[in-house]
Amino acid sequence: KILMLGFDEKFIRTWDYYFLYCAAGFRSRTLGNYQ
């Protein structure tokens, strides 16, 4: 579905990495939700 929007595999892998990085940061309490 994302490919049909014109995004390539590299873009998808980059966002997957970013979301996994954020998830790990929240799980380890390295990152927080500050507003």
Predicted local distance difference test score (pLDDT) of residue 35 = 61
| pLDDT tens readout for residues 1-35 | 888 899 999 999 999 999 999 899 888 988 776 66
Element (H, E) at 17: helix 9-27
Predicted local distance difference test score (pLDDT) of residue 8 = 92
Side-chain-facing half-sphere of 6: CA atoms under 13 Å: 0
